[in-house]
Amino acid sequence: MVLNPVTAPQLVSINALAKHFSAGASLAAKSLKYVRLSEAIHDEQLGPERIAAVFRLSACKTAKADCAFVLLAGSNSRYRGSPANWSGEPERALCGTLVGGDFALVNDQATKFVAKHWLAISSLAHGTEDKLRLRLTPQYLTDCRQ
């Protein structure tokens, strides 16, 4: 019997994936002016279900679309942090119920947001955000918030 050497897969900790999710979700929430929620997402490392629970308490007309945007930004950040270890669940299911047929539109905006702010997201996930003085400007299309 001959053993063939196999390259070991790159292992990524669950904590690293969670940090990328919370960094992306936190910056997305901040861009939508949910400043306190942004801080809570980052400080408490809130996951998708807990973020959705907070948005369920909101009386804002755009809460569902905003929640979907924040969750999808977090999911896309986790993907960019480690594509091989990414799964779109539970964000896909949560967002599908929140925005229904507008899922593709909100996901597209979240993907663009993450691409534009990847340096800040990565820095926040790795704890080096103080070295960067990046100011976020809302780039979220108003048609997603209707």
CA dist 54 and 52 (Å) reads 5
Q: Which residues neighbour 107 within 8 Å (Cβ) at sequence distance 6 or greater? A: 72, 76, 95
The reported pLDDT for the residue numbered 142 is 43
The reported pLDDT for the residue numbered 116 is 96
The reported pLDDT for the residue numbered 1 is 58
The reported pLDDT for the residue numbered 63 is 95
Regions of the chain short of the pLDDT cut 50: 8, 11-13, 131-134, 137-146
pTM of the shown model:
0.79
CA dist 15 and 99 (Å) reads 28
CA dist 116 and 120 (Å) reads 9
The reported pLDDT for the residue numbered 83 is 82
Q: Which residues neighbour 27 within 8 Å (Cβ) at sequence distance 6 or greater? A: 38, 73, 117, 120, 121, 124, 136
- What are the pLDDT digits (tens) for 60-69? 999 999 999 9
Q: What is the dihedral angle through the alpha carbons of 120, 123, 125, 129, rounded to the nearest 10 degrees?
A: -90
Q: For tokens 């964000």, name the residue.
A: 91
The reported pLDDT for the residue numbered 126 is 86
